[in-house]
Chains A and B, each alone.
Chain A
Amino acid sequence: MNAGRSFIEMTINGEKRTVQAPPMKRLLDVLREDLHLTGTKEGCGEGECGSCSVRMNGELVNSCLVPVLQAEGASIQTVEGLASNGKLHPLQQAFLDCGGAQCGICTPGMLMAATQLLAHNPHPSMAEIREGLAGNLCRCTGFIRIFESVIAAAAQDVEQQAQETPHAR
C-alpha cells in the first residue's frame, strides 16, 4: 500500500510535521492534501502564477515545482503561518485596509512574496516592490492596491515582525 512512499519530515509554520508521500509528489499537493493547509493555491501548475508561493528555508518558492523530497528537513512558511496570536500580520492588515485582495485567490501567494520582500528589504522602493512581486500574477487588482498595501505594511516597521518569524533569515 505504501510502496513508493517515503517519510518526509518538515517544519511547517514552526511545527514539526511528518508525511508519508511519494517523493516526487509536489510540495503543493502535500500541503493541500496531506496536511490540509489549503490556503496555498494552484493557479497554473507550471511556475508562472505564483499563487502556490511559500517560503522554504527563507527562500520564496513555487510549491507546484518542488517535489516534496526536496523539502525534507526544510522549514516552510505558508499563509496559515502569518497571523500570530489571533492578530493579523501587518501585511494582512494592510491588504485588508488598502484593498490589496479582491477575489483572494492570488492573495496567499502574494502575501508570501511580500513577506519575503520585506524580510530582506524592509523599506523597498516602488521598483523593488514591482520586482519582488513580478512572479505573482493578480488578475483582479491591477496590482496598484497591492503595491499600496506593501508600502503601508513597510511603514509599520515590518522589519521587526519579519525577524520575529522563525523562518526569516
Chain B
Amino acid sequence: MTTHATNRIVGSSVPRKEGVDKLLGRARYVDDIDLEGMWHGATVRSTIPRGLIRSIGFDRSINWSEFAAVTAADIPGSNHIQLIAADQPCLADGMVNHCDEAILLIAHPDKHRLREAVNAVHIEYEPLPPVFTIEESERQNVIVWGADNLLKNFLLEKGDVDSVWSGAAHIVEGEYRTGAQEHLYIENNGVIAEYTAESGVTVWGSLQCPFYVHKSLLAVFDLPEDKVRVIQTETGGAFGGKEDYPSTLAAHAALLSMKSGHPVKMVYDRMEDLAATTKRHPSRVRHRTALDHEGRLLAMDIDLATDGGAYSTLSSTVLSRATLHSPGPYVCPNVRVRSCAWATNTVPYGAFRGFGAPQAVFAIERHMDEIAAAIGLDPIELRRRNFLHDGDTTATEQVMREPVILDQLLDRALAESDYHARRARFAHENASSPIKRGMGIAAFYHGSGFTGSGERYLNSLAGVDVTPDGKVRVLVSSTEFGQGTNTILTQIAAEATGLGHEDVIMAPADTGIVPNSGPTVASRTAMVVGRLIERAGLQLVSLLREHAGLGAHYSRADFFAACDRYRAVQGAVVSLCRYEAPPGVFWDDQKYRGEAYPAYAWSIHVAQVAVDTVTYSAEVEEFWAVQEAGRVLNPVLAGGQVEGGIAQGIGYALYEKVLLQNGHMANNQMTNYIMPTAEDVPPIHVYFEEVPFSHGGYGAKGIGELPHDGPAPAILNAIRDATGVRCNTIPLLPEDLFHKLAAGQTVEEATAV
C-alpha cells in the first residue's frame, strides 16, 4: 500500500457513510430520541410586530402547577443569543420586535397538553409602529433598531466610477428584487436539553454548528466551557436554516430543563417552524453600468439593500457575501458597490444556501441580459467579452492566480444544451404558438470558505485519531445534514492514511469529543476542513513511521499494529492540524479590499423555459449546469448537491413566496408555501470540469452553495427570451406573469440612457 495513490478512494462514488442507517429507518433524528423522564416544551410567541409587553396573564382554567414556565427573568446569565452582535434576546423582555418572537416557555410531561396551555397565556401589549420594508426602514421615519435602522453597510470601491459616465458609449440601468425564501428542510428544528447542577447543560439537536450553540449556551447560563456540551443528532436537512436558529431553541429547552428538573424536548411543528425561524434575506439591487462601443464594461455602480429583519443575527456577513458577488464574474476597471442591511419588524432573516450570493447573482445576471438587449449584443457574446481570466483583478483587486476557465465552461454549456439551435428553433416556432419557449443563461462564481479574514479568525482545528479496536476516526465539528460531510471526510482520511473507506469512521459531532473545525457553512467543509483532514492523515502516517516503525509500504494490519505500538508509548494515537491560510492571501477589513475568498467555484447554467400565454404558467423544461469546483471528491454526492441546489433555485424563481401579513407569515403551511415536487423538476444535466485547487482537501473547492446561485437569473432570462418581457422580481408566480404579459408589452424597451 502506498499513500500516494491519489485516485484510490477520493474521486470515487463510495456509498454515503450513514446511508444504510437512513435507508433502514434506524438513523436517529432528534424526535426519534426519548430520554427517561423527559418533558416537552412549547413557546408562547408575540402576536404583534412591535410593542411593549404590559402584562402576562395565566388563565385559571389550567392547573399551572403541573407545568414549568420560564420567562426572561429566569435566565441565569445574559439574555442574548451570541452570534456576531448580541442584540437578539433569548426571550423577549418587556418589548417585542417581531411577530412570533418568543416571550414565555412552558413544559409538561405530556406534549398533547401543551397547545391548550399556550393558548391560555394572555399577553397584553402596548403596540408601537412597525416597519416592514426596506423602503420604510431606509426612510428612517420610524427607528426600530439602533440609531438609524442600519444593521450594517459596506462600501466597495475600485477605480473611479464617477469619472466614466460622461465618456461612455452606453449606460444601462436596472432594478432587481428578490423575495424571502424558506429552507423547508423536511425535518423541522428540534432539540432535547438536559440541565443538572453537577454537569451543566447537555443538548442533543438537529443543527449545523455545535460550537455556535455551545458559545451561546455559555453566555445564557453563565457557565464555564466544560459545563456545556452540544451533540448533533442526525439532521434532516438544514440549508443554512440550522446555522443560527438552534442556538435560540437549545437555550429555550435548556432553560425549561433547569426549571422543571427534567430533560426537555422541543420539536417545532411545521407551522411554528415556518412562522418563527429564519429565511433568506429579501433584496433590492440597483445597477448602473457604463460600457464602451464594443460592449466592454467601463463602470459598474451597484446599490444593494437587504431586509435583515428585527435583529442583526447574520445580516452583516450575508450582506458582505452579497456585496462581493454583486459585480459577477467580469472584469471592470471601475466598480462601486454601496450596500446596506436594513432592520424591519419581521423574524430575523438568516443563512440560506448561497448566503447573499443568489440575490446578488440574480441582479447582475438578469442585468447582463438587459444590457445585451439595450446595446444590441448577443447575451452570450456580452458575457464572453467581459469574463474574468487568470491574472485579472476582481472588484476587490484580488488577482486571479488560479486558472479561470469560464470560456471553457460556457463552450461546454452551449454545446451540451444545443443552445443556439434550440434558441433559433424556438424563435421560429413561438410566432405561431401560444406556448413561447426560450433559452436563458447565467454565469457566476461562488467564493468558497469564509469571506475575507474569516478563516484566519476561525483558526479551525481538526484531525484524526485511531481507536483501540482498529478504526481511524475523523475528529471534526463539521456536521452531516445530507450534503455528504461524513462520506467525503472519511474518503479523504482513508486516502491519506492508505486505508480502506470502511476503516474510517466519524467521531460523533459532540463538543465534548471533537475539536472546533468551525461551522458547517460557507461551502468550506470539503475545501478547508477536507484539507485539514488530508494533512492530519498524512501527518499520522509520518508519526507512525517516525515513532512506531511503520514501513514505506504497509498493509492494513501493519498500520494498526504500528498504531498499537504508538499507543503503548504515547497513550493515544492522535493527529491534529490547524488551519493555515494559503500563502499571499491578504484581506483588508478596513478598506474592504484584497483576497475576498481563498478560492472560487465557477458555473454556467442554462435553462429552457416554456411560457404558456393562456395559463400564464412558466415551466422549466430542461436545465444544464456546468461547473468547476476543483477536484470532485465523490461524483454521486457532488451531482446530488448540484441537482438539489438547482431544484431549490427553481423554487426560488417560480414557486416560493413568503406572504407576510402585518409581519406574520400568513402562508406558514406546506399547503400554501409551495416548493417544486417530483412532477415539477425538469431533467437536470450536470457536468464537472475539474481544476484541482492546491489548498483544498485533495484539490476540492466548495460545491454546496454554488448551484443555488444560477437558476433564478437563467430562468428569468429564458422568459425574457421567450416572451420579450422583462421580469426583474422573484418569485415570479403566474399572477405576476399575467400582469406583465397582459400589460401588452410584448417587447419592452430596455432602459438605455
Residue numbers of A with Cβ under 8 A of B are: 32, 37-46, 48-49, 51, 78-80, 82-83, 88, 92, 95-99, 101-108, 111, 129-131, 133-134, 136-147
Contacts and interface: CB of A to CB of B under 8 A. Distances in A.
A49 B25 contact: no
Nearest to A126: B683
27 contacts: A43-B187, A43-B670, A88-B20, A88-B23, A95-B19, A98-B636, A99-B16, A101-B23, A102-B482, A103-B186, A103-B481, A104-B21, A105-B29, A105-B237, A107-B22, A131-B679, A136-B678, A139-B183, A139-B185, A139-B648, A140-B640, A142-B648, A142-B684, A143-B647, A143-B681, A144-B683, A145-B643
Nearest to A25: B112
B677 interface: yes
Contact of A44 (B21, B644, B669): B669
Contacts of B646: 142
A46 B640 contact: no
Nearest to B484: A102
Interface in B308-327: none
A146 B678 contact: yes
Contacts of A105: 29, 185-187, 236-237
B670 A48 contact: yes
B445 interface: no
A142 B484 CA distance: 15
B232 to A, nearest CB: 12
Contact of B20 (A96, A137, A147): A96
A103 B671 contact: no
A5 to B, nearest CB: 13
A142 B640 CA distance: 8
Given A41-B29, A45-B269, A99-B639, A104 B678 contact: no
Given A38-B28, A139-B183, 19 more contacts: A41-B187, A43-B186, A44-B669, A48-B671, A51-B186, A83-B24, A88-B20, A99-B13, A101-B23, A102-B237, A102-B484, A102-B644, A104-B236, A105-B29, A105-B187, A105-B237, A107-B23, A134-B678, A142-B646
A51 to B, nearest CB: 5
A42 B675 contact: no
Q: Is the interface of B mostly helix, strand, loop or mixed?
A: loop
B25 A141 contact: no
Nearest to B15: A96
Contact of A139 (B31, B640, B675, B679): B675
Contacts of A104: 18-19, 21-23, 27, 234, 236, 482
Contacts of B647: 141-143
B216 interface: no
Contacts of A101: 16, 19, 22-23
Interface in B668-720: 669-671, 675, 677-679, 681, 683-684
A83 to B, nearest CB: 6
B484 to A, nearest CB: 8
B237 A103 contact: yes
Nearest to B185: A139
Contacts of B23: 88, 92, 95-96, 101, 104, 107, 111
Contact of B640 (A78, A137, A141): A141
Contacts, number: 167
Interface of B: 13, 15-16, 18-29, 31-32, 183-188, 234-239, 269-270, 481-484, 636-637, 639-640, 643-648, 669-671, 675, 677-679, 681, 683-684
A140 B669 contact: no
A165 to B, nearest CB: 15
A137 B186 contact: yes
Contacts of B234: 104
Contacts of B236: 41, 103-106
A58 B508 CA distance: 39
A142 B681 contact: yes
Contacts of B20: 88, 92, 96
A92 B31 CA distance: 23
Nearest to B183: A139
A49 B15 contact: no
Name the residue in B25, B31, B643, B645 with the highest tally of chain A Cβ atoms < 10 Å from its Cβ: B25
Contacts of B28: 38
B24 A39 contact: yes
A145 B239 contact: no
A108 B186 contact: no
A136 B679 CA distance: 10
B187 A103 contact: yes
A96 B643 CA distance: 17
A80 B24 contact: yes
Question: Which of A32, A45, A139 gathers the greatest number of chain B CB atoms within 10 Å?
Answer: A139
A111 B23 CA distance: 8
> Which 10 A-B pairs give the minimum distances between C-beta atoms?
A39-B25, A105-B236, A103-B482, A104-B22, A142-B647, A102-B482, A79-B25, A48-B670, A38-B32, A142-B643
